[in-house]
Amino acid sequence: MALSSRRRRTTVAPRSHRLSQPSLLFQATVQVFVTTPTEEKDAVTNRAMAAIAGLFVFPSKHVVFDINRWTFLPQKGALCDRTYAGSRMSSVLPQIQDLADYCPSSPTAAMIHHLGQIEAPSSIWLTTGLLYLVVTLACNIAYFNVVVQNLANDYGWAGFNCTGMQPFLANTFNRQLQWASTLQTPTPIALDKPATGDASQQYNVMSTAIKWSRGAVQRQVLDPFTPFTTVITDLRAMNPCMLPWMATQYCWLDFNRSWAMAATAQRQTRCLHHATNAAAYLESGLRNIADWAAWDHCWGVSFDVGVARDLRASAAGRAWLTATSTNANSVAAEVRYWTVVHGLQSFGLQWQNYKSAGMTDAITIVNALGVAYPLLLSQSVGAFHIKQQTSYKLYWSFASDLWAIGANRTSVGGKSLLRASAEFGFANVTRADLLFENTTLVAPLNAGFERLDAMLGPFGA
């Protein structure tokens, strides 16, 4: 195979006009693209071109400030142009407007001598500038060596790391939370005391464990002294569909106790001991539902059958429904409504084992700049255990009540949950009967269950 090639020779005719070279103060990158325009309308002024190149003219003082060299130069001759034969073209041209009268075609000996005198700095200033640079660089290096440990993390905490200090801090707080008499009592912790030390594992290795008690979740959930601010905030953040699954047996519908809800008269009498517990009132959850559309989608039919239908029969009931569903109080105003208006003091739930609560526990670290960062102590994921539970025998949750009255196949289907209603579902049926219907209880009861039923009343109530 033979390869052949031809070279095409192209002749470029020289341009007929001469180009204009800008001032020697302009950088080479500027000079490359500066030449005579093809049309007069494309021209720009000499001062505009100088500003783009970093040269600012002060006509009143007859000087030019060179921002690249950070010095002043005399205006006369600083921006003068010289002609030369060039090959590059551009649409940008430095015009010599008001300086054209005295700009020579080439630098004169006097101009060169004058510029040389201006640009020659004093040896004192050179020495001072050099010392300034050396001192500032040394100070920067010294400062960096001092703060390098503190800048290693966002906390500004020297020596903090993920395998040593973080697990030690989390384990220390988890132990203190487990030993504290109440979660609301402030307990200062001195990390540098020997008593705070942890000899159960080494913290200078590559892998360390954070230990926490699973009982801490139940302790937090069942704490009756949780601040109302936290309770109301959590209720509003809760998925409305999960509200009936809270482990509480409602005694009254509203805070004014106008509509009772206990399944038995004996249970309603016992409710008087829980009059200051906000969890005994269904209104505490309903008035803090953030998404009523979601509530209606999940429980709207059952709630209408068991509660709203009877309320709409009276003016007071309709007014309560409207006020509850349109509550727009702030958290602080809602706390005052609970405590000042209705005298509520706590929010205590009941024990259950049909679900495990999820919790994320963290502490907040505030650095020297006032910026706060969370540090995780423990985390658990909530889950239901309907098939493994045993607490349904005590009370099977308000969600099961809503299911029972909304299902036609139960003995309370279509009935009301309000004791004053003519259609009260538990007037002739007990919750124990419902438990036998869905096989939560199996007849006949053993001797232990029979004795418990005789002492406390029917199961489920």
Residue 121 has pLDDT above 50, yes or no: yes
Q: What is the mean pLDDT of residues 164-183?
A: 82
Question: Which pLDDT does position 9 carry in this prediction?
Answer: 43
User: Mean pLDDT across the chain, nearest whole number?
Assistant: 80
Question: Which pLDDT does position 359 carry in this prediction?
Answer: 86
* Tens-place pLDDT, residues 244-266: 999 999 999 999 999 999 988 88
Question: Which pLDDT does position 285 carry in this prediction?
Answer: 96
Question: Which pLDDT does position 117 carry in this prediction?
Answer: 52
Residue 15 has pLDDT above 60, yes or no: no
Q: Which residue has the tokens 């505030």?
A: 366
As a whole-number percent, the residues of the chain with pLDDT over 90 amount to 34
Among 51-60, 75-84, 94-103, 157-166, the range scoring the smallest mean pLDDT is: 94-103
Report whether 456 contacts 270 (CB < 8 A): no
Question: Which pLDDT does position 386 carry in this prediction?
Answer: 87
* Tens-place pLDDT, residues 216-246: 888 888 888 889 999 999 999 999 999 999 9
SS (H, E, C) the chain: CCCCCCCCCCCCCCCCCCEEECCCCCCHHHHHCECCCCCHHHCECHHHHHHHCCEEEECCCCEEEECCCCEEEECCCCCCCEEECCCCCCCECECCHHHCCCCCCCCCHHHHHHHHHHHCCCHHHHHHHHHHHHHHHHHHHHHHHHHCCHHHCCCCCCCCCCCCHHHHHHHHHHHHHHHCCCCCCCCCCCCCCHHHCCCCCCCCCCCCCCCCCCHHHHHHHHCCCCCHHHHHHHHHHCCHHHHHHCCCCCCECCCCCCCECCCCHHHHHHHHHHCCEHHHECHHHHCCCCCHHHHHHHHHHHHHHHHHHHHCCCHHHHHHHHHHHCCCCCHHHHHHHHHHHCCCCECCCCCCCCEECCEEEEEEEECCCCCEEEEEEEEECCEECCCCCCHHHCCCCHHHHHHHHHCCCCCCCCCECCCCCCCECCCCCCHHHHHHHCCCCCCCCCHHHHHHHHHHCCCCC
Question: Which pLDDT does position 159 carry in this prediction?
Answer: 82
Question: Which pLDDT does position 77 carry in this prediction?
Answer: 57
Cβ neighbours for 418, distance < 8 A, ≥ 6 positions apart: 253, 259, 260, 261, 306, 307, 310, 424
Shortest CA distance to 260 belongs to which of 228, 232, 283? 283
Question: Which pLDDT does position 109 carry in this prediction?
Answer: 59
Question: Which pLDDT does position 150 carry in this prediction?
Answer: 78
Question: Which pLDDT does position 138 carry in this prediction?
Answer: 95
Confidence grade of residue 278 (pLDDT, cut at 50, 70, 90): very high
Confidence grade of residue 123 (pLDDT, cut at 50, 70, 90): confident
Confidence grade of residue 461 (pLDDT, cut at 50, 70, 90): confident
Residue 43 has pLDDT above 50, yes or no: no
Show me where the domains of the chain are located: 23-81, 123-151, 220-354+389-460
Question: Which pLDDT does position 336 carry in this prediction?
Answer: 97
Question: Which pLDDT does position 44 carry in this prediction?
Answer: 39
Question: Which pLDDT does position 7 carry in this prediction?
Answer: 42
Residue 276 has pLDDT above 70, yes or no: yes
Of residues 22 and 269, more confidently modeled? 269
Residue 116 has pLDDT above 70, yes or no: no
Question: Which pLDDT does position 37 carry in this prediction?
Answer: 46
Confidence grade of residue 111 (pLDDT, cut at 50, 70, 90): low
Q: What is the mean pLDDT of residues 340-368?
A: 90
Among 119-133, 325-339, 364-378, 441-455, the range scoring the smallest mean pLDDT is: 119-133
Of residues 321 and 113, more confidently modeled? 321
Question: Which pLDDT does position 99 carry in this prediction?
Answer: 41
Of residues 289 and 189, more confidently modeled? 289
Question: Which pLDDT does position 185 carry in this prediction?
Answer: 64
* Six-digit token string for 422: 């003519």
Question: Which pLDDT does position 107 carry in this prediction?
Answer: 56
Residue 397 has pLDDT above 60, yes or no: yes
Question: Which pLDDT does position 3 carry in this prediction?
Answer: 39
Residue 119 has pLDDT above 60, yes or no: no
Cβ neighbours for 432, distance < 8 A, ≥ 6 positions apart: 441, 453, 458, 459, 460, 461
Q: Which residue has the tokens 């050099």?
A: 130
User: What letter represents residue 286's amino acid?
Assistant: L
Distance (Å, whole) CA 119 – CA 115: 6
Question: Which pLDDT does position 292 carry in this prediction?
Answer: 95
Among 36-40, 121-125, 451-455, the range scoring the smallest mean pLDDT is: 36-40
